[in-house]
Chain A
Amino acid sequence: MSSIVSIDNLSKQYDSGFQALKDVSLDIREGEILALLGPNGAGKTTLISIICGLVTPGTGSVRVGGHDVVHDFREARSLIGLVPQEIALEPFQTVYDALRFTRGLFGKRHDPALLQSILEKLSLWDKKDAKTMELSGGMKRRVLIAKALCHEPRVLFLDEPTAGVDVELRKEMWEVVRDLKDDGVTIILTTHYIEEAEAIADRVGVINKGELLLVEKTETLMQRMGQRQMRIELMEPLGAIPEALSGYNLDYAEDTHSLVYSYEANGERTGIASLFADLSKAGIVLRDVETRQSSLEDIFVGLVEGKS
């Protein structure tokens, strides 16, 4: 897959002296959904703001569709649609006029059929003549997406698309994003909800304190970094972990009389068989066993804390 966005050694220091990005390099492939994951203030918004033209780059370069975002800004920007984090709409404008305005800004002639199909896809067609201030929060967000799409961009940036929205609306947004991907749009979204990245992204980039820690396929990341935990519920309470089991990575949860065994999911040997044998030798009787895959959240916390 060819890359549609190429970021090379990008750094950005604000006038205040704050170093928002440190030597970030990243290739975004055409047609993928990439989630940029990181805590607040990690540099996610700065990164996409530079690509989209909202913030001037420090050092390094960004190319979209082969066009430099500073020197060939017209060509680069015509390929990009941005859905900002904050809802920013002209309150007295109708939904339809808002779309016409944006399409015009991108130098494109009015196309009623296209605008209708975008509004229908986002379930906004019946609201086309409503003023944006009359819409609900969820609808306003969809208007922002419709605006970002109305000049037919090849790359769509969604900055925290589901920040502060309820679960139902979040799921609805994910559906919209998946549909857009099916239409061939490359999507880059920033989020600090790990489940969001896990649910919809093809690849995940983890960013913290201005540094891109890694970029991997979502499943690979889960596999490579994923730890599994096995929870072994015991028939009888255990005073302490017996000496014979000290070689295992075990924790004892006193309230539930359970042993928690952590192991690498993709390790050559998980050690489960020998643990069971040793438990049996020690005369410990089991009631129940449960295993759990560690979530992206655990992986993320591990990375950010430098445990990776």
Chain B
Amino acid sequence: MNFQAVRSIYSFEMARFFRTLSQSLISPVLSTSLYFIVFGAAIGSRIDEIDGTSYGAFIVPGLIMLSVLTQSISNASFGIYFPKFLGSIYELHTAPVSFVEIVLGYVGAAATKSALIGLVILITAEFFVDFEILHPVAMLAFLGLTCISFSLFGFIIGVWSKNFEQLQMIPLLVITPLVFLGGSFYSISMLPPFWQTVTMFNPVVYLISGFRWSFYGVADINIGLSLAMIGVFLVICLGIIAWTFKTGYKIKN
């Protein structure tokens, strides 16, 4: 195992994040603040409590997840796509590194970035609404697992994308609808029975529900099932990446 290589990739990717700190942090913080103002204060004040929580507080975990998911995917996909686009990816192929070191470096950095953004949004939320975190350890665990598994997913998108359009297509067309329909702004129990069933096929539902449980102790879905689903998603992503590197699919001729 070439740990020096992992360190090298990780610190190089983190350097990019800090180089564009204003862009990396201000944009998610600003957009989340707007959500809090519109949904939390303006509209939220006219909505009753959900599961014993005020609407403003109810949407905090969902909003954090919304940013964390999109940031994980865009950071990781861009991180590996950019060297592909520039041609500097040749360095990874000619260095004594296996896919394990490459994934640890790129995905590790992408997950760290999105976790940092998640925590900054959490702090921002404190300025707008009162909320508490019942299970802080579980909250961090959910946050960490989500960052890692969606960074893995983003990495796959980055490896498979042939151009910038494809790079943005999946986050835009798949992830955004899944997150919005995943219960960020409402409880699943508020949906008609048919749509409740359909929703169960949305993996994001399990993430948001579990994450919300770590805040308020109330969940739409059993917490064990939520954890299991994240685990399954993570294993599937790892499997796809391992297969991609083993066969050289979309990577080597």
> Which residues does A use to contact B, with CB under 8 Å?
14-15, 49, 52-56, 73-75, 77-78, 80, 82, 84, 86, 88-93, 97, 100-109, 147
Tell me the chain B residues, 73-119 only, with Cβ under 8 Å from chain A.
82-83, 86-98
Interface pair A105/B95, CB less than 8 Å apart: yes
| Nearest CB of chain B from residue A305's CB, rounded to whole Å | 30
Which of B89, B94, B252 has most A Cβ within 10 Å? B94
Rounded to whole Å, the gap between the CB of A58 and the closest CB of chain B is: 11
Known: A101-B8, A104-B8. A54 touches B2 (CB 8 A): no
A77 to B: closest C-beta gap in Å: 4
Q: Is the CB of A90 within 8 A of B88?
A: yes
B96 touches A84 (CB 8 A): no
Known: A82-B94, A84-B87, A88-B87. A107 touches B5 (CB 8 A): yes
List the B side residues contacting A93 at CB < 8 Å: 12
A-B contact pairs, 20 of them (CB 8 A): A52-B94, A53-B93, A53-B94, A54-B94, A56-B252, A73-B96, A74-B98, A78-B96, A88-B89, A90-B82, A90-B83, A97-B12, A97-B15, A102-B95, A104-B5, A104-B8, A105-B95, A106-B4, A107-B3, A109-B4
Q: Which secondary structure characterizes the binding site on chain B?
A: helix
Q: Is B188 an interface residue (CB 8 A)?
A: no
Do B83 and A106 touch across chains, with their CB atoms under 8 A apart? Answer: no
| A107 and B86 contact, Cβ closer than 8 Å, known pairs A53-B93, A54-B252 | no
Whether a CB of chain A sits under 8 angstroms from the CB of B23 is no
Q: Is the CB of A107 within 8 A of B96?
A: yes
CA distance A88 to B91 in the complex (A): 10
Set of chain A residues within 8 Å of B135, measured between Cβ atoms: none
Whether A105 contacts B253 in the complex (CB less than 8 A), given A52-B94, A82-B94, A84-B87, comes out as no
Complex Cα spacing A104 to B9, Å: 8
Contact A80 B94 (CB under 8 A): yes
A104 close to B4 (CB less than 8 A): yes
Asked if A105 and B248 make an inter-chain contact with CB atoms under 8 angstroms apart, the answer reads: no
B19 within 8 A of A: yes
Q: Name the residue of chain A whose CB is nearest to the CB of B20.
A: A92
B13 to chain A, nearest CB (A): 10
CA distance A125 to B216 in the complex (A): 58
Query: Using a CB-CB cutoff of 8 Å, which residues 1-41 of chain B contact chain A?
Result: 2-5, 7-9, 12, 15-16, 19
B contact residues around A92 at 8 Å (CB): 16, 19
Contacts of A49 in B (CB 8 A): 253
Q: Are A105 and B8 in touch, CB under 8 angstroms?
A: yes
Q: Are B4 and A74 in contact, CB atoms less than 8 angstroms apart?
A: no
Which positions 220-253 of chain B face chain A at CB distance < 8 Å? 248, 252-253
Closest to A12 in B: B253
B202 vs chain A, min Cβ distance (A): 36
In the complex, how many angstroms separate the beta carbon of A48 from the nearest chain B beta carbon? 10
Is B86 a contact partner of A82 (Cβ separation < 8 A)?
Answer: no
Q: Which residue of chain B lies nearest to A20 when distances are taken between CB atoms in the complex?
A: B253
Instruction: Check B96–A86 contact: CB distance below 8 A.
Output: no
Given A92-B19, A101-B12 in contact, is the A106-B96 Cβ separation under 8 Å?
yes
Decide if A54 touches B90 in the complex (CB within 8 Å).
Answer: yes
